[in-house]
Amino acid sequence: MPRNNSQVTAKATIAISDFTNDARVTKALDTLKHTFNPDKGGRPFIVSDVLDDAGHQYVNLVQKGGGVLGIALIGYTYVLEQMNIRFLRLAGTSAGAINTALVTVIDNKQDPKSEKVLDAVCKLNFFSFVDGHPATRWLIKKFITKDDFAGKAKRSLLWLLGTLALLITADVVLVGLSSHYTGVAVWAGLSFLLTGCCTLLIALGVSYVANLLKRLKNSGFGINPGDTFYDWIKQRLHENGVDTVQQLKDKAGACPKLTLRVENDAQYKALFGDVTFITSELVTQNKIQFPAMCNLFRTDINTMQPAGFIRASMSIPVFFESYMIKDIPATDPRIIAAWKDTFEISQPPETARFVDGGILSNFPLSIFYNNDIAVPRLPTFGIDLDDSKPEDKSQNPFNWSALGYFGRIFNTIRNYYDKDFLQKNKVYQLGVGKVDLSSDQFNWLNFFLSDKDKIDMFALGAEAACEFLTNFSWDDYKNQRRDLQQQLTTVKTPSHDNITH
């Protein structure tokens, strides 16, 4: 059910200028303008060989997931845009999918987008996305905004159990004494009453937790429906003229006239705009790329709502309910052929269930790799959000916290595919900038961000973009990518001596 729009948006307490005029942001831009000013001894600013008539340089952009830390992504893209960088192809997961969607649909591809994304963020009530049961909303708020709430809750539970144990012991002792001392009977009765109250309190708590777990199962193993977010992102797409899959594709693909700075054998081959949102499908256990794989679920893709792609991508397990696509025409020959061609699955599911794309690919740089191109014409930039805490980065496993331990398990699983690609294609690491969000100030599930937190994250993203651009070398990237392609070609092409006749 759509939520009241006032629950989602409110009068902004901060303005766009509070972000863009922050001293850290202006300093980052001043540094870049000084570094890349040939008239004053700086070097030329060249990050791509693909340009438009206005002189904008084009790159492909991949944005990593990270919950509410995605505000740092906006700071990063803001600096890129201020340096006249524009985005040809875009991809993102979870929070990265949200910024990717907004950057895709707002205005034209050659226009800067980040300030308008900021405008939406300034008006956004983040806590409205926590749209589950009131009790779970209260618990989430306490866990995230109160220092050591988990510890306090644990100590309270231990205190309650300890009290019950003492009361039971008192019951036994007092009953024994009451047969010898008549005055003890009153105390024994009081002890029994307190024991009963304590037991009832624990029973009610257990019953309530059991009921919540039942509700969790019935609601798709998520404590928040995610309806508020779906309605919010759907409205943002609608405001920018995107209500169908085809409109989304048209918006992502609408490019100005592009030119090449230098000659390239590939010329303008496969030089197009598009957008990709990554999500994880649980029924068939596959990574899904929307909108490219819409034909797996509908014969008429325009019957699908593009907002669902972003909602599917950011379905954080347990925190949000799974996103479902029901009534898939699984017996339709076109659907069967699509599943067989894509995943070699001959029996498509009738219902698909999606969770956060970060489960399988939180940083999908690999989707822009094109082995048909010998020398790249533009780089792939990636924005990496690093929120691992210092104590959990330790190489000594005895120093990890409990959250750090389980975080390592989860990160090992979700980062393996992307890390494997980067290890085999190290050149792509040259295009990755990292935003350090490891401070205890930031929590990726903190939907109660203060204005200061938002501005701080934006500034950290801007500073990270400044550092990245200062150190990035398009020539190194291009040469290493060319060398990599030559190595792959050599491996795939056997020498004459190895050919048997």
Active site residues: 94, 356
CA dihedral 80, 83, 87, 93 (to 10 degrees): 0
Task: Report the alpha-carbon angle 288-81-461, nearest 5.
Answer: 70
Of 236, 269, 228, nearest to 121 by C-alpha is: 236
Q: What sign does the dihedral 452-357-371-102 (CA atoms) show?
A: negative
Of 349, 462, 478, 447, nearest to 72 by C-alpha is: 462
Which amino acid is residue 344, in one-letter code? E
Are 56 and 255 spatial neighbours (Cβ–Cβ below 8 Å)?
A: no
- From residue 448, give the alpha-carbon distance in Å to each of 53, 445, 451: 43, 9, 10
State residue 289 phi and psi, 5-degree precision. Answer: -115, 110
Q: Give Cβ neighbours of residue 409 (< 8 Å, ≥ 6 apart).
A: none
Instruction: Compute the radius of gyration of the chain from its Cα atoms.
Output: 28
Are 383 and 55 spatial neighbours (Cβ–Cβ below 8 Å)?
A: no
